[in-house]
Amino acid sequence: MKYDIDTIRHSLSHVLAAAVLEMFPEAKLGIGPAIDDGFYYDFDLPRTLIPEDLAILEEKMKKIIQSNTVFEKYDEPKKRAIEFLKKVKQDYKVELAEELEGDLATFYRLKGSLGFTRDDNGAVNFVDLCKGPHVDSTSDLKDVGWKLNKIAGAYWRGDEKNKMMQRIYALAFEDKKTLEDYLKRMEEAEERDHRKLGQELDLFSFHEEGTGFVFLHPKGVAIWNQLLDWWREEHQKAGYLEIRTPIILARSLWEQSGHWDHYKENMYMTKIDGRDFAVKPMNCPGGMLYYKEKLHSYREFPLKIAEVGLVHRHELAGVLHGLMRVRSFWQDDAHVFCTSEQVETEVNAIFDLIDKMYKKLGLKYHVELSTKPEKGTIGSSEMWKKAEEALTSVLKKRGEDYKLNPGDGAFYGPKIDFHIEDAIGRTWQLGTIQLDFAMPEKFKLEYIAEDGKKARPVMLHRVVFGGIERFLGILIEHYAGAFPTWLAPVQVAVLPISDKHIAYAKQVTEELRNADIRVEIDERTESVGKKIREAEMQKIPYIVIVGDKEIDVKKVAVRVRGKGDVGQKDINDLVKEIMI
RNA sequence: GCCAGCGUAGCUCAAUGGUAGAGCAACUGUUUUGUAAACAGUAGGUUAUGGGUUCAAAUCCCUUCGCUGGCUCCA
């Protein structure tokens, strides 16, 4: 390929901008970068775009591409560039030009094109401030597979205080076939959407009466309980102790923790007997009170206190998204209290635990390091520096590839986040390891050190699943609803061939249930074909069919998900197979 | 919260200003079934909500609620 795909995508974004200017000569241009699956361009337009506009713009773009127009690059002295941009009323580009380093501003002109702005000589040309690179000519874009696919609002420069511009998103791939493949893949991915599967598999629901609050159905709870049983096993082995703290606590606690000052917008408040209370948005302050109940010794360290706790956060309505983003969720939280010398070892141990647990589920993750936010933080800058160095050191020693998110830390400390992709490639933060020198300070936590003197412990906040609802959502999409047998809400469906086999089917069901297997019997007077079809659609791992042939030999006919009919089996053998 | 789109039966969807309909699910009856959908019938709706325009509104306009995709924010 002659050009980098991003060069092609970005060049197309200029073609889009040219088309938009042809349609709206007064349009003001923002920026138009390449993204993972195409590009976008932000515009400030005289009217709101409607979906039909995209088809019109696509036609205009096709004409521009067909016109074999050359992308002509030229530099202008910065001062003249700004004057020009002011003259053509490209306010946003003026802002960008003013920030350019050096004395020159680079422009690209689509020479000889249909024309959308006028240059000094009155010649009609599309000109855009941009450093490139671009393809040589629009003729290089002829074979590209592209499509304008959505209109969205986006704040200028990503700041919600700024004006909201209209963003046009487009898909763009090297050729038309790749675009078609991509569209097909996305269509298939939508079948795995946890919201769709959640309804089809009867796992959970949402109701208008509780925006952002999940109703977990029996099958959803079954998966949840399996996950948590496993979680408790792993944490018990790793030396964690589990506590449970109240979800409503007095204002004074939140003032002490800093949440009242830094997190109030997201908290649900209430008054009890005239006193202010808040529903906990995080588990830590309750954990602090537990720690302070007695005097601790360095000999107890690392002290690992876990809490599977229910938190409530009033998230903005527009960010809610199925199980992935809710207003009330459970965290598999834990706080590790240790000395500063133990920090690296402990962070590393938590990293190992998260890695181990994700691997068992086959989840692929990437990690990000988030550092001190610009404002609204608690704790001294030395504390932050020390904390960031400790986390960086662990990542480096592990040889972990990580993305740096400057300024993205929590208000009390920096963090390592574990991110996982959903069905259509959006990434969600699940696990996190947060270092906190600040909370122990605020709560004046102490322990008796080796020298017999009081010292301040370091605290680590960590979750493996993160939000358990979100984790469940990720798992539904990861497995496309076909959970491994140990997690499946229903492990076995028992299907009697006809009414006269119900008694034996019940007996089989009872035996399986007594062996602690999650089993369902389908006693309806439907055809076997139909019962199999429905059990398959419910993605049940084992389907057991019983008729005369099985009753005679006291066995069951087994059908395994993904394998089909595997013949007759002894019930005890089936139990052994499922329990592995 | 902001920008845009959407909201019709339990579910998936028709009906574009003129009598709200289909398939599946549910219910009833018949069928007693051998590896992905038996047959027939019945019932199901103040078209999310409140208001407006009109002789007439699911359809056009406004309010509120909810959902979807983005933005900002975040587990």
Question: What ipTM was assigned to the predicted interfaces of this complex?
Answer: 0.95
A488: amino acid identity, one letter: A
Give distance CA A344 / C1' B44 (Å).
Answer: 64
For residue A442, what is the domain's CATH number? 3.30.930.10
| Whole-number CA gyration radius for chain A | 30
Three-class SS state of A486: coil
Q: How many CB atoms lie within 10 A of CB A312?
A: 20
DSSP H helices, A68-171, are 78-87, 91-98
Predicted local distance difference test score (pLDDT) of residue A109? 81
pLDDT average per 10 residues of sequence, chain A (580 residues)? 89 93 90 94 92 91 88 87 88 92 86 48 65 89 94 94 95 95 91 96 93 96 98 98 97 94 93 96 96 97 97 96 97 96 95 97 95 83 88 95 90 92 92 91 95 96 97 97 97 96 96 97 95 96 97 97 96 95
Q: Is A134 annotated as a binding residue?
A: no
DSSP codes, A181-215: HHHHHHHHHHHT-HHHHHHHTT-EE--GGGTT--E
Q: Is A296 annotated as a binding residue?
A: no
Q: At what angle do helices A218-237 and A343-361 cross, to 10 degrees?
A: 140
A157 and A114 share a domain?
Answer: yes
A570 and A457 share a domain?
Answer: no
- Nucleotide nearest to A528 in CA–C1' terms: B33
CA triple A145-A148-A149, angle to 5 deg: 110
Answer yes or no: is A152 CB < 7 A from strand B: yes
Answer yes or no: is A153 CB < 7 A from strand B: yes
Buried b (16+ CB within 10 A) or exposed e, A524-557: eeeeeeebbeebeebbbbbbbbbbeebbeeebbb
For residue A39, what is the domain's CATH number? 3.30.980.10
Three-class SS state of A316: coil
A81 and A136 share a domain?
Answer: yes
Strand B nucleotides in reach of protein CB atoms, 7 A cut-off: 1-5, 11-12, 26, 30-38, 65-75
Which of A418, A449, A479 is the last residue before a domain boundary?
A479
A199 and A181 share a domain?
Answer: no
The structure's pTM equals 0.94
In angstroms, the CA A280 to CA A291 distance is 17
A166 and A198 share a domain?
Answer: no
Using a 7 Å CB cutoff, list residues 525-564 of A near strand B.
525-530, 532-533, 536-537, 543, 545-550, 557, 559, 564
Which of A479, A510, A539 is the last residue before a domain boundary?
A479
Protein residue nearest nucleotide B66, by CA to C1': A208
Protein residue nearest nucleotide B70, by CA to C1': A152
Which of A426, A447, A479 is the last residue before a domain boundary?
A479
Give distance CA A200 / C1' B24 (Å).
Answer: 13
In angstroms, the CA A203 to CA A494 distance is 20
Answer yes or no: is A566 CB < 7 A from strand B: no
A465's tokens: 């699943």
- Nucleotide nearest to A417 in CA–C1' terms: B75
Question: A129 lies in a domain?
Answer: yes
Question: A487 lies in a domain?
Answer: no
In angstroms, the CA A346 to CA A43 distance is 49
A370 and A411 share a domain?
Answer: yes
Using a 7 Å CB cutoff, list residues 451-470 of A near strand B.
463, 466-467, 469-470
Answer yes or no: is A85 CB < 7 A from strand B: no
Give distance CA A512 / C1' B66 (Å).
Answer: 43
Domain that holds residue A570: 492-579
In angstroms, the CA A433 to CA A415 distance is 5
Strands A402-405 vs A366-370: parallel, antiparallel or unpaired: parallel
Cis-peptide into A496, omega within 30 deg:
no
A556 and A514 share a domain?
Answer: yes
Answer yes or no: is A426 CB < 7 A from strand B: yes
A223's tokens: 């998966």
A173 and A305 share a domain?
Answer: no
Predicted local distance difference test score (pLDDT) of residue A124? 41
Q: How far apart are the first and last CA of chain A?
A: 50
Using a 7 Å CB cutoff, list residues 207-266 of A near strand B.
208, 211-212
Give distance CA A442 / C1' B10 (Å).
Answer: 53
For residue A559, what is the domain's CATH number? 3.40.50.800
Predicted local distance difference test score (pLDDT) of residue A116? 45
A349 and A215 share a domain?
Answer: yes
Give distance CA A316 / C1' B51 (Å).
Answer: 28
Question: A166 lies in a domain?
Answer: yes
Answer yes or no: is A199 CB < 7 A from strand B: yes
Answer yes or no: is A154 CB < 7 A from strand B: yes
- Nucleotide nearest to A410 in CA–C1' terms: B74
Question: A203 lies in a domain?
Answer: yes
Using a 7 Å CB cutoff, list residues 54-73 of A near strand B.
none
A25: amino acid identity, one letter: P
Asked whether A110 and A138 are in contact (CB, 8 A), the reply is yes
In angstroms, the CA A425 to CA A156 distance is 25
Reported for A497-501, long-range contacts at CB under 8 A and 24+ positions apart, including other chains, are: A497/A528, A497/A545, A497/A546, A497/A547, A497/A548, A498/A547, A499/A525, A501/A546, A501/A547, A501/A548, A501/A551
Tally of structural domains, chain A: 3
A287 and A433 share a domain?
Answer: yes
Answer yes or no: is A320 CB < 7 A from strand B: yes
Question: A251 lies in a domain?
Answer: no
- The residues of A annotated as belonging to the active site are 284, 313, 331, 333, 335, 415, 461
Question: A512 lies in a domain?
Answer: yes
Using a 7 Å CB cutoff, list residues 427-446 of A near strand B.
428-430, 432
Eight-class DSSP state of A301: P
Predicted local distance difference test score (pLDDT) of residue A1? 63
Predicted local distance difference test score (pLDDT) of residue A120? 52
